[in-house]
Structure 1
């Protein structure tokens, strides 16, 4: 399913898109209680991020605010409510990226940080590194003063049941249905800066220290003020092989810059004198919402052709926003400065 939204180039506007995972989300397969709980969680996350943006806050702060809500909600596979590894433990991955300077931070296989997205941001802002993992990430978290919890805080009886169900089937390496997905957010602030963040417990029954695409900059998370912000969910191995998040951003940037350069050349040929502001306006309007969505869909199709499945959310510095998913459903939501706000689960919404 693909849903572009109208573009906006106003530098005073802001927008926010979130997801809570994609998978076999179909009417009749999800209980009314779970449906309502997930929608309420998405709405709270939108409210938290929107509050930051409407007050003039930064895109990266809005992304963090939205993801914190989702990490604390057991309906989603991140923070409290994360899925179990095959050995019955919980290992947490997260990443953030600020499109302003392409600063990024990520953690993989963390075990005790109550909100992994805060640890990813600490790595970005308070360390010389981009990615920390395992015991090192845990030590850095504790030394940074982040709230620490016992590993069993993240689990729930339902997640344990899902692990036992998966083991009983013995049909593969892990939960190939990917029913319990990652969370993420992308935001564009009133200054036109974009940011992205992703957080996950991974796949039910993952083994051998498996790490998916979520904490890998360029695979499941990417943000660049020159093009786009992306957060992904789904079959991480395939998102990694395609480099989905970076590939989308690169194709958008290259097409927008080429189009803007062509338009500038044509204008100068006709005698117009273009200053830097005029060139910036050309870049901001170079691509339509449909053209951006076509790029997103093309990269997703490449991932699917390799055998993958999942979804992404995106938005550009110029106001295009939307999502694409290749599963029956995806927990998702959008909000913007024009007052529009929505949440959805199924493919027909």
Structure 2
């Protein structure tokens, strides 16, 4: 193959590995999609908004200091894993048997390296373990006790399982168990499905993209169920042209390979990011009976945050250094008419 033909072929796939021109860093995060109505107390709502802003600021500080997109993604998700208002890390939902089983994944779009963990019960920050799997092992995904043995060998913090418990999540399980015993369907969507997952996508000053996702899964899950979050291509994916983290009913994200599909539309089919994300999240997944949302970012700094639920915890921060946070479906998150970054090229 002639050299210029090879370059074009690789560019189409978004895996050129070539150096990138300097761009304005961008970080986008989510804290889950679902039935999010204005029935939180003012204190609860403020706590969520504060945590989201903190995650944005912490991750963006890494970008401004010259850190990588991976650094920003890991930093932002760690903040959300440590906050009990989200279904990841502390505050994760309970399984049918009363335990917490945590999943996470991270991916470097520049190299297509990825790391993931599934079903861990004592890892304080699963996103940090996922990154260690990517950077310090020959594997992509580790699970259960093996993943925790790897964590211990590599100095990743382990905690007693009681660390993850919150009373609100425990009562959510008790309600689900009563409905199970009465052979009733779960009465609310928060109990019935997979919401509250956290995630981040970032673009650094070198033009590199990364994506990460972390979750406790779904309340009352059984048999070691694993959703889309730690599955590369389903709930988490990044290449050199696109990065995506999803949140929603994981089985449908797995079946559609949602995150990968969005990025392939962008890098192979040259579909604009917003349209590509909407086609998968707001058309294909609902047509199959699923729901949820996603955050997506391309190499020019364009942002897309589609969701088909009542609301979605979401936020972004860019060149102005100001964190933008929104929770409700009718709330302007600042991205609807967001202009392209000044130093970017027009989308095809």
Q: TM-score normalised to the size of structure 1?
A: 0.85
1:181 and 2:192 matched: no
Superposition CA RMSD, Å: 1.6
> 2-side partners of 1:182 and 1:27: how far apart?
20
Equivalences, count:
306
Identify which of 262, 277, 282 aligns with 1:296: 277
Q: Which residue of 2 aligns with 1:237?
A: 251
In the alignment, which residue of structure 2 is the partner of 1:53? 63
Aligned match of 1:24 = 35
Q: Distance in 2 between matches of 1:237 and 1:180?
A: 12
Contact 1:45–1:66 (CA under 8 A) maintained in structure 2: yes
Distance 2:199 2:190 in 1: 20
CA contact (8 A) 1:199 1:214 kept: yes
Moved over 6 A (4+): none
**1:161-201, CA deviations, whole angstroms, 9 ceiling, x for partnerless residues?**
11111222233489554474100000000111000000000
Deviations 1:244-289 (A, max 9, x none): 0000000111123xxxxxxxxxxxxxxxxxxxxxxxxxxxxxx6xx
Q: Give the unaligned 5+ runs of structure 2.
A: 1-19, 332-348
Q: Which has the higher contact order (CA 8 A, sep 6+)?
A: 1
- Please list every run of 5 or more consecutive structure 1 residues that lacks an aligned counterpart in the other structure: 1-8, 257-286
Contact in 2 for aligned 1:24/1:178 (Cα 8 Å): no
Partners in 1 of 2:159 and 2:322 — Cα distance? 37
1:259 corresponds to which residue? none
1:144-293 alignment runs, 5 A limit: 144-170=154-180, 171-172=184-185, 177-178=192-193, 180-225=195-240, 227-256=241-270, 291-293=272-274
1:142 equivalent in alignment to 2:152: yes
Length-normalised TM-score, structure 2 = 0.85
Report deviation, 1:340: 4.3
User: Structure 1 residue 98: deviation in Å?
Assistant: 0.4
Residue 307, structure 1, aligned to residue 289, structure 2 = yes
Question: Partners in 2 of 1:302 and 1:12 — Cα distance?
Answer: 32
